[in-house]
Structure 1
Amino acid sequence: MNKKNAILGAAFLTATSAVGPGFLTQTATFTQNLGASFAFIILIAIFMHIVVQFNIWRVIAVSKLKAQDIANKVCFGVGYFLSFLIILGGLAFNIGNVAGAGLGINTIFGISPILGACISALIAVAIFINKDAGGYMDKFAKLLGGFLIIMIFYIVFESNPPLGKAAKELISPSNFDAFTLVTLVGGTVGGYITFSGAHRLVDAGICGKENLSEVNKSATSGIIIANIIRIFLFLAVLGVVSLGVKLEPSNPALTPFEHALGNLGLILFGLVIWAASITSVVGCAYTSVSFITSFHPSIKKNENLIIIIFIIFSTLVFATIGKPVEILVLVGTLNGLILPIALFVILIAAYKKDIVGDYKHSKILAILGFVITIAMAILSFITIKDYLLQL
């Protein structure tokens, strides 16, 4: 296995796992709601993204263990609970990812979203039929991740956003919304997302103190890739809404593409949402299943088959129900609690010698990590409580 390919592949895997249909919709909607002030929230989210990613990736790398095994070593049973949350949350997200892929093909070719979802699922399944599924997954994530960056940058160029205003609001925002920040952070490093690349590096054998520099490079690259896409999409939407154009309520991320390029924009948007969705299907399925592979040798032996079943089941739910039922929506909401639980466990593990040996974890990273854990736990609890009251 090419070590450089695996390192870059892990970076693209974690970035493209974050960049799904929800990512596109949220970024467009928040840009419309907050305008140029959204730049400041993106900046804070990037800072939190860095803290979370480096805390989790470094401890996983040094321990040479996946997150569920680290959690079980900290307190037996927590790893099983974390895996349960990750898999349920991953299933809820993957139904949305499959739906997004179906919508993309529907936009490009005009066929039904369900048929488009089935075709997309077959493409994702094809990756895991191969013995070298990891290598194919790395190449797939890099190829479509690069495509996303190029396409969205092109729309930024065409939409001509007010860069001066965005720069001013980046430093001195005129508007701020805490729950937008929570949603943004949760959608970037919440649930399974932050573990995608870290677990990929463990599977590729790129772990241990001797490989920390490579792990840091991969984590940094993943952060840069995800946030370049976020910033470009923000600027593209800002360029449109600053002209007074209202976003399409049912599909807000489509508007800047259609406004800038007309019918060609529709096709390009179809390609973008398909690429974002299909890479998220792959990343979500791989990472969700990676949370149970260490529980029994037979699971590890049949890992690719279980991933394929996960993808097919997600597709069948979308094809038969059309969209997630209330319980899946609730599971997706509960997914917001995964970040503070997982980050807290990882931070405790960072100071247990039976897990990390003589590794000395950064005190600054740890302190910032605990602050984010507490803040996200409080805000996630409030969000879930408000959601339950609305049922």
Structure 2
Amino acid sequence: MNDDGTSPAPSPVDLTDPVFISYRQSDGTDITAELAWMLRAAGIPVWRDRDDLPPGDTEARLEQAIADGLSGAILVVTPDVEKSEIVRFVEAPRLIDLHKAHPAFALGIANAIERVPGKLDYDAPDLVLAQRPKTLGGVDQHPSDRAGLRLLVQKMLWHRIAWQRDAIAAAGETFHLSVQTRNAPQVYDRTGHQLDIRIRPSLHEKLPSPDGLRDLKDTLGLLPDAITRAGASRVRVHGGAHLSVAFALGAAMPSSRVGEIQVIDQRQQTWASSHEAKVGISPLLLVNAEGTNPAPATTGRPSVAVYLDLLPQRSDDAFARYREENQHVVTAWEHLVYASDDLLDHTAAGEIAAEAAARIRTLSNNIGNAEVHLLLRCPFPIAVLLGRLLNTLRFVTYEWDDSVVPSGDDYRARYVPSMRVRPSAAGGAIEEVLLADGSDAP
């Protein structure tokens, strides 16, 4: 957005295209990998040589990336860049020229060179990239640590969204985003939507990547502001994801901030949201089973568990195992099921999510604003729509896993803690990643 509040003028740069990362492999690979995954988790597709560029001459590969379409670039400035003719005399000049020619073409710098310990050397990019002094003085540059990279991602995101306001307005103030947690992210996975949220692929057949969830934790808090800055009154969500991620995505877009959410499933059916948690005149859900433990062996905030089981074929073993392993810490639990034996009616999705949210809120409130341990067995759209209706509550979300346990004789599937989610948290809906490092190992 311009300083006067107006949208920027149209540009030949397509702001749904990816961002190119230029770096020196010898000392910039780790920084670039972390930056690329954070950009993808924020919804920005990335061109990176190791992931996306085909074999061939480096200069030709950059030209191919430009021909395919770029919305911006980030120069990763490390000491060894001074030794790279490709970065200094091919990539950097070409990308700087694109930025100068097209204001919509975003350019950022991740600077790993310090003047003295703890003090960034803002003159270093011009020096190591063989540019005239002050050439890059007006370009956004940030430290290459995690906090600096997150701020750089934020700035790239705000730029990307500002230049899409007119397109969003022309589309009926509709903001499109896609999400995938199971694909191997690479540049050809992009959709042309405003954002394409992707996380690191997991080596586990069922569980998401803990590092990928941490990337999402650090960037998901940017999403509601991005939607607000876009001037959107409606969000359409496409794709699919692990259910804990789907729930967190919905929690990041609460009904108090986002007017309407529609989730488009793989059959192009629309699952639309409700605006409040409530039980209708004819309930759509039943309490299949419930229980209490009046004297749990815990201190502090109490916990309750909800198993939202909306698929037609019963599968209770994993929840039974959860209850057996956690009965000493949970004060109360409910197993909610769909009242019909048929498949869920997508046209009733808003009412189903609203009723589930109302029942979850009631259980939590009845047990002293308890933390809710949420175990989902439902379609992806319901998880998204449910998340947006549970502002102010605290959750532990779980993922279903039927991997063979290496020891013991209990071969039932289990629910594994994934994330701690709090929709109203100032820093973003995901408060903590609970999946242990190595849990995605084969």
TM-score of the two chains, using structure 2 as the length reference: 0.21
The structure with the largest strand share of the pair is: 2
More helix, by proportion: 1
Could you say which structure has the greater relative contact order, defined with CA pairs below 8 angstroms and 6 or more residues apart?
1
TM-score, normalised by the number of residues in structure 1: 0.24
Larger radius of gyration: 2
